[in-house]
Amino acid sequence: MLGEEAEPQWISEEVKTGTTIIAIEFNGGVVLGSDSRVSAGDSVVNRVMNKLSPLHDKIYCALSGSAADAQTIAEMVNYQLDVHSLEIDEDPQVRSAATLVKNISYKYKEELSAHLIVAGWDRRDGGQVFATLGGLLTRQPFAIGGSGSSYVYGFVDAEYRRGMTKEECQKFVVNTLALAMNRDGSSGGVAYIVTIDEHSTDEKVILGNDLPTFFDQ
Amino acid sequence: MALSNVLDSPAAGFNFDNAARNAAFEGLFEGGQTPKPLKTGTTIAGVVFKDGVVLGADTRATSSEVVADKMCAKIHYISPNIYCCGAGTAADTEKTTDLLSSNLTVFSLNSGRNPRVVMAVNILQDMLYRYHGQIGANLILGGVDCTGNHLYTVGPYGSVNKVPYLAMGSGDLAALGILEDGFQHDLELEKAKKLVRDAVHSGIMNDLGSGNNIDICVITAEGVDYIRPFQESEFKDRREIKYKYRQGTTPVLTKKITPLKMEVVQETTQKMETV
């Protein structure tokens, strides 16, 4: 018998990316990382979603919050950045991309519920990471976001050192993601890593059983 | 060079007018519940296989605890190479897919080519995002175009996921179990059909909102094979006796005829133009 309370959650629950995202800058580029879980209430809608979305060849953004809002912002900024890049006739700056994201996030602050971290490499300033939470714009050596980030603030604050190499940064990102995915119910699946530097943009997937393990496993 | 939409292209940027309207709408009910739309309580599934895409759906439409339609068609035509399964509010999925189909037909006529699946997905996402979840349509879009075989899902809030296999609806968890276990990349046609059938069957067996027959739609580069029904319900009822009663079964005891007196109140003549 289908009662009123048997309404399935996926009908009314908004699809959230309930996430862990991280971006860190090194000398000559950036490393971005995310988990892959998309949830609607208690149900996992997509367990392999890549939340690292390209805004341009060497500028990526990491999505968190409401899946629809974040995807739409990323698409709009992708379009605006393409137009801007044609207008200035060169590759856009990371700061420009971050500003476009910030503009949307700030103007529609009340209506939207998504946070994007923008990171990339450009010729003028090298690797840069920008946080745009709530409509602010700030450049940081690294940024974390999403529901899983709460569990790893301590870890990143303790483990971050200035002047890490590309490989150390990649390891830092993978470790952070693994720890957060272990503790946060809304983060999980596989880890996507994107490394951007002057020469290449390198996308990688690390499957669940290849992630580093810590004391309780 | 905008999309060849029949509708006016929407104003640039976000438009939250409808959200404000809906909030005002809720006030009208004075704290009571806004009317709940009818949901199809469904199992739909899709799988990408070697030569194309297979979509499957059950055929039950429920209205609370009564089965309103035993042979409801949940796999909708979008274009010759794209079909769409819909879960959620029945009216919303019907209208949304019809609208999408019309727009893509106009596009095809204008450009002379079959639309790409990603185009259908983009149009849907635009529309559903603009309505902020007020359109309760959970859609699985599958199709074959010049770039390959694709399977997408679009949620009611406008989120898009591109995946090789998928199940949606109230029976999705049951169906997904079968898909997770049996899915492999590049399946053969018969295996893919069987996998989708098994997935929908699992949804039917384990979910009250899904049932009756199973429809399968196979889309390949060569064409579409819409098999309706692919499998009939094992629990189909069989009428034991005829329910037609011959005249005279109910005896007439008395008859009384009362003529109705009608008065002419007004008389007008209107000339009919016959050209």
- Output the CA–CA distances (angstroms, integers) from residue A171 to A175, A178, B12, B32, in the order listed: 6, 10, 42, 54
pLDDT in the model for residue B244: 85
Model confidence band, residue B90 (pLDDT cutoffs 50, 70, 90): confident
Asked whether the beta carbons of residue B129 and residue A49 sit closer than 8 angstroms, the reply is no
Quick check: B176 pLDDT over 60?
yes
Phi, psi (deg, nearest 5) at residue B41: 45, 90
> Within an 8 Å CB–CB cutoff, is residue B33 touching chain A?
no
Contact of B86 with B95, CB cutoff 8 Å: no
Structure confidence at residue A44 (pLDDT)? 87
Q: B158 touching A, CB under 8 A? A: yes
The angle formed by the CA atoms of residues A168, A21 and B130, to the nearest 5 degrees, is: 150
User: Within 10 Å of residue B255's Cβ, how many Cβ atoms?
Assistant: 5
Query: Which residue, A76, A54, A71, A60, is CA-closest to A15?
Result: A71
Which residues in chain B have their CB less than 8 angstroms from residue A49's CB?
A: 161
Paired tokens of A182: 């272990």
Residues 6+ apart with CB under 8 A from A48: A36, A189, A190, B163
Whether the full predicted model's pTM is greater than 0.80, yes or no, is no
Identity of the amino acid at A19: T
> Phi, psi at residue A64, to the nearest 5°?
-150, 165
Q: Which of B202, B132, B191, B217 is nearest to B169 (CA)?
A: B202
B16 contact A CB<8A: yes
Report the pLDDT averaged over residues B55-78. Answer: 87
CB A65 within 8 A of CB A17: yes
Q: Is B103 exposed, middle or buried (0-12, 13-18, 19+ CB in 10 A)?
A: buried
The string over A168-201, giving b where at least 16 C-beta atoms fall within 10 Å of a residue's C-beta and e elsewhere, is ebbebbbbbbbbbbbebebbbbbbbbbbbbeeeb
The Cα–Cα gap between B254 and B97 comes to 56
Neighbours of B144 (CB within 10 A): 24
Instruction: Report the pLDDT value the prediction gives residue A5, as an integer from 0 to 100.
Output: 45
* Structure confidence at residue B209 (pLDDT): 82
Euclidean distance between the first and the last CA atom of chain A, given in angstroms as a whole number? 42
- A11's enclosing H/E stretch is helix A9-12
Q: State the pLDDT confidence band at B180, using cuts at 50, 70 and 90.
A: very high
In which element (H, E) is residue A196 found? strand A191-197
Q: From the list A7, A11, A15, which residue is nearest B159 (CB)?
A: A15
- pLDDT: is B234 or A204 the higher one? A204
What is the nearest CA distance from B133 to chain A, expressed in angstroms? 8
- What distance in Å separates the CA atoms of residue B211 and residue B213, rounded to the nearest whole number? 6
Chain B nearest C-alpha distance from A131 (Å): 22
Query: Would residue A19 show up in a list of annotated catalytic residues for this protein?
Result: yes
pLDDT at A1 (0 to 100): 41
**Fold type of domain A35-207:** Glutamine Phosphoribosylpyrophosphate, subunit 1, domain 1 (3.60.20)
Nearest Cβ partner of A46 from B16, B88, B161?
Answer: B161
Length of chain B: 275
> What pLDDT is attached to residue B255?
92
- Compare CB distances from A71 to B156, B160, B209 and report the shortest one's residue: B160
What are the pLDDT tens digits along chain A (217 aa)? Answer: 433 444 555 555 667 668 999 999 999 999 999 999 998 888 888 999 999 999 999 999 999 999 999 999 999 999 999 999 999 999 999 999 999 999 999 999 998 999 999 999 999 999 999 999 989 999 999 999 999 999 999 999 999 999 999 999 999 999 999 999 999 988 999 999 999 999 999 999 999 899 998 877 5
Cα–chain-centroid distance for residue B20?
A: 28
Q: Which residue did the predictor score with more confidence, A2 or B199? A: B199
From the candidate CATH numbers 3.60.15.10, 3.40.50.1100, 3.60.20.10, 3.90.230.10, the one assigned to the domain spanning B43-231? 3.60.20.10
Judge if ipTM > 0.85: no
CA distances from A208 to A213, B74, B166 (A): 10, 36, 20
- Structure token pair of residue A55: 């805004």
CA angle B52, B53, B56 (to 5 degrees): 150
3-state secondary structure of A167: helix
Q: Which residue has the tokens 């450049």?
A: A139
Rounded to the nearest 5 percent, the helix, strand and coil shares of chain A are 35, 30, 30
State phi, psi for B94 to the nearest 5 degrees: -60, -55
Sign of the CA dihedral with A50 first, then A51, A52, and A54 last: positive
Between CA B188 and CA B183 the distance in angstroms is 11
- How large is the average pLDDT for residues B194-223? 91
CA pair distance B97, B128, nearest whole angstrom: 12
What mean pLDDT do residues B64-92 have?
88
- In chain A, residues with a C-beta closer than 8 Å to the C-beta of B170 are 8
Contact A105, A112 (CB under 8 A): yes
Alpha-carbon distance B69 to B139, whole Å?
Answer: 20
Check residue B63 and give its pLDDT: 77
Place of tokens 């309706």: B228
Cα separation, B183 vs B162, whole angstroms: 16
% of chain B residues with pLDDT over 70: 91
